[in-house]
Structure 1
Amino acid sequence: MAAACIPTFHAFKIKLDRFDVSVYAYFSTFAIWLFPGVMLVVALSMMVSLLSNNPITAFAVQFAVLLLSITPLKGDYSIYKVFIRHNAIEPIADIQALYVNRVFIFAMSIVFAFITAWLWQIKRRSIGERLK
């Protein structure tokens, strides 16, 4: 997110020269394109490491998510793709599929975060009962 500040600063300087540019384009790109995927991977990794009591399994899950969503290299916006790619010059043909994908991934990350919080609460209760 901090890396987006540098191009935004340059875009602001260009805008001062009366060019029509979107100053916050990098932040919106981050919010729509990258943030849901990062949220899902972090929430899923937290849940897996909590269930297995081992952080190494979280790395394995992250690697599996990467392998499952790395191909094809362009134009696949199916609902289960965590990291989507658009390596083409032409505009996105089905923007609706992109938005559905991002909303679904965002919703799944929220669900995994709530499940993780619930599991953590159960785990803390059992630890507290053992201390009594």
Structure 2
Amino acid sequence: MKKIIFILMLLLLSSQLAHSQFGRNGYLGRQRTAIPRGPEPEPKKPEPKTAEEMVEEEMPKLTEALELNDFEQAVVSSILTKYLKQRIELQILELPADKMRESLEKISINQSKELEEGLPVEKYEAFVDLQENGYNSKKNKKKKKKKKKT
């Protein structure tokens, strides 16, 4: 009798052991550990771009659209970087809306004056046109002319 109980206990324990090791379906599953996990690290937010990085990113488009030479590129790049830094500093200050608007207008006026002084007239006017209409305006004009010809 003791032998039968011993064998039954042994079978019961071995089935429990197999079940905990391989799961119900007999497949080796994910093992649980007694070690608690710490909080999952939060994904890092990308750092905001600097004024230099933003201007550097836009310069190829500007150079192509305005057909700038190396000297003009350097002038435009330095002016845009200077005034973009000022705009970023204003955003950090979080001024009231009316003061923010007034400051941004002053920055725009100063930027325009410097660009006008640093660029030939036709390239400055093209730059202003580009600011108002975006990069596609020059391409759209070419497409319209092509459509009229055909």
Same fold (TM over 0.5): no
Range of TM-score over shorter length: 0.3 to 0.5
**Larger relative CO (CA 8 A, sep 6+): 1 or 2?**
1
State the TM-score, normalized to the length of structure 2: 0.32
